[in-house]
Structure 1
Amino acid sequence: MATIYYEKDIHPELIKSSKVAVVGYGSQGHAHAQNLRDSGVEVVVALYPGSKSRAKAEGDGFCVMNVPEATDWADVIMFCTPDVPMSKIYNDGVAPRLRDGQLLLFAHGLNIHFGLIEPPKNVDVAMVAPKGPGHRLRAEYVGGAGMPALVAVHQDATGQAKERALAYAWGIGSGKAGVLETTFKEETETDLFGEQAVLCGGLSALIKAGFETLVDAGYQPEAAYFECLHETKLIVDLLYEGGLNYMRYSISDTAEWGDYTAGPKVINSQSREAMNGLLKDIQDGTFAKRWIEENEAGLPNMKRYREEESKHPIEEVGKRLRAMMPFLKTKEVPV
């Protein structure tokens, strides 16, 4: 049975009596910093010189320090930077200045799990990973609900690493929703797998394949868009609220019958074999190695993928249709 911690299990004074530096002010960092501040925690934002996020962090009322200065100042250092540059930020600005008893926190376990960052033995190393993007973490905090998070301990130098990490989770509001105890290995491997096989890679490919199948068969692209992409949100909302059975209860009998009979034809033994291959590449470090190599090469394939996908017909049709839906708060990728 999984261990889940709530506010009643947590000692907030452990974080309220600490000075916290949040490294990064992007997708996750802005929400961590703002939630901590609103919870009464003393917090600064740590950025490299020339960071594009500096003006935003200062505009939001934060003291911004460079990373070495923040390391000297802080008791707790939370890394909210992208995975690939994180090890350089750590090695250049943090590692030379660490002192006994500091707590290093990570919002994702990749750098620790694959040995890209190797902290000294005199500091606590733990993870607090909210289960959602930063803007939702902030919105749930402001709304009073909180977002679930994961907690894991890699190294316990003080004997209080888990308690300190849980207190940090309280500070960002996750104590209200529940904090699941895990390991760096489990979080890293399940997170990467979920993104690739289901949430991003799998879902995107399934939507495009459905759209293309209908259009190739002569149906209107607009009708295919509504059926294969637009209505996805309706199903996901039902899944989010009550799981698979509630979704099936809420849809029509015809749709439910299609779920049972057609789903296994699309996601079958061949699909599962492909998923197992993805998981193996994640577990043995192949994916991490390739991703780091892609970054070191200047992201040539990533840029190509972005360019190709932005021109897919489903994007062109969708942009036109979304502009005709006044009830949507439509969003576009910044140029």
Structure 2
Amino acid sequence: MAKLNFGGSEENVVTREEFPLSKAQDVLKDEVVAVIGYGVQGPGQALNQKDNGINVIVGQRKNSKTWDKAIADGFVPGETLFEIEEALERGTVICYLLSDAAQIAVWPTVKKHLTPGKALYFSHGFGITFNEQTGIIPPADVDVFLVAPKGSGTSLRRMFLQGRGLNSSYAIFQDATGRAFERVIALGIAVGSGYLFETDFRKEVFSDLTGERGTLMGCIQGIFAAQYEVLRANGHSPSESFNETVEELTQSLMPLVAENGMDWMYANCSTTAQRGALDWWKKFRDATKPVFEDLYKSVATGVESQKSIDSNSKDDYREKLDAELAELRESELWQAGKTVRSLRPENQAVEA
């Protein structure tokens, strides 16, 4: 483990240089990694482990869409694909990658297969941190840890296939065997992490829920909508409004930030853009910081987790979710986006 300095603050991180794949393979050579759930994170993590030579099996409900998806991805019924309970019995490491609501429902089945020495692996601190709401309390004689890739399972898989790694956090909640650290780091490397930084279950879920509701999804959609609506109200066309609000940000500026940082992106814009950005960023910070403080409080007090459990546990939650998503999908903002994306050069047919 290395200590890296991040702007004056030291953090414990593990890189692929100090913990190469060969070491991860050696640590996991006698393990059977059972990936339970094949929805958001499951496919990427399972396939990356499989390609990295780890003995991985998938546990999923038979004859479901995700069962069929696992078969299409190369998992073989009776060999590497099993019903959930059989996979739980076979696995020595249980990668519990069901949705938060599904984890609550399936937990009694999982718990009875957590025999001494096994490991329970999460990619989210939700179930453990909010155990008064979820009822997920592991037995004392198993390792409990998490690896949380900082992106979707789709991104994890795509970057793996490109020979890149998606950074992940790791945390150990319970070390029953004395091997929790080497097991969690080996799994983090095997699923395709770039580097792994240390956290704990509470911090992981607090930061994750804040990020999802904040800059990653909720805030960015709100800011997009606000700027687009102001431009449209002042006579700008849908195309101009969308390009100035979304397209230039995602296609031009954010890649520069990802490559070299915000300061570098600023320095490579026009002086007019630099002046405006420097004059206005603190105003946006000061305007939105109270919202983020309210958001973090709502996460830390369990309000957000309870809302999630209550809504996602209902039988009709998928139908209600789709109806809410339709508001975004059918809005002029994202209808304009659909048209603009279709006009990108890579999406245009070229005559021979």
> Same fold by TM-score, threshold 0.5 exceeded?
yes
Name which of 51, 54, 57 aligns with 1:44. 57
Normalised TM-score (structure 2)? 0.88
Deviation of the 1:139 alpha carbon:
2.2
* Corresponding residue for residue 299 of structure 2: 282
CA RMSD of superposed structures (Å)? 1.7
- Counterpart of 1:136, as a letter, is S
* Corresponding residue for residue 333 of structure 1: none
Normalised TM-score (structure 1)? 0.92
2:56 is paired with a residue whose SS is strand
| Aligned residues of 2:60 and 2:84 also touching (Cα < 8 A) | yes
> C-alpha separation between the residues in 1 aligned to 2:254 and 2:210?
19
* Corresponding residue for residue 4 of structure 1: 13
Name the stretch that deviates more: 10-19 or 295-304. Answer: 295-304
| Aligned residues of 1:27 and 1:134 also touching (Cα < 8 A) | yes
1:231 is paired with a residue whose SS is helix
- Structure 2 residue 187 is matched with structure 1 residue 171: no
Q: Deviations over 1:44-66 (max 9, x none)?
A: 11112342111121222212111
- Counterpart of 1:54, as a letter, is W
Name which of 184, 189, 193 aligns with 2:210. 193
Q: Which runs of 5+ in 1 are unaligned?
A: 330-335
* Corresponding residue for residue 219 of structure 1: 236
> C-alpha separation between the residues in 1 aligned to 2:313 and 2:39?
21
Q: Deviations over 1:124-176 (max 9, x none)?
A: 000011111112211222222222111100111111112101011121222xx
| Aligned residues of 1:87 and 1:111 also touching (Cα < 8 A) | yes
- Structure 2 residue 247 is matched with structure 1 residue 230: yes
* Corresponding residue for residue 295 of structure 1: 312
2:346 is paired with a residue whose SS is coil
| Aligned residues of 2:101 and 2:313 also touching (Cα < 8 A) | no
1:320 is paired with a residue whose SS is helix
| Aligned residues of 1:137 and 1:146 also touching (Cα < 8 A) | yes
Deviation of the 1:326 alpha carbon:
3.6
2:164 is paired with a residue whose SS is coil
* Corresponding residue for residue 250 of structure 1: 268
| Aligned residues of 1:294 and 1:301 also touching (Cα < 8 A) | no
Q: Which runs of 5+ in 2 are unaligned?
A: 1-9
Q: Deviations over 1:218-255 (max 9, x none)?
A: 11121111100111112211111112111111211111
- Counterpart of 1:247, as a letter, is M
- Counterpart of 1:238, as a letter, is L
> C-alpha separation between the residues in 2 aligned to 1:244 and 1:8?
27
1:128 is paired with a residue whose SS is strand
| Aligned residues of 1:22 and 1:43 also touching (Cα < 8 A) | yes
| Aligned residues of 2:150 and 2:168 also touching (Cα < 8 A) | yes
Deviation of the 1:195 alpha carbon:
1.4
> C-alpha separation between the residues in 2 aligned to 1:149 and 1:265?
32
> C-alpha separation between the residues in 2 aligned to 1:278 and 1:320?
34
Q: Equivalent residues in 2 for 1:1-335 (5 A)?
A: 1-10=10-19, 11-12=23-24, 13-62=26-75, 63-91=80-108, 93-115=109-131, 116=134, 117-174=136-193, 177-233=194-250, 234-268=252-286, 270-297=287-314, 298-299=316-317, 302-328=321-347
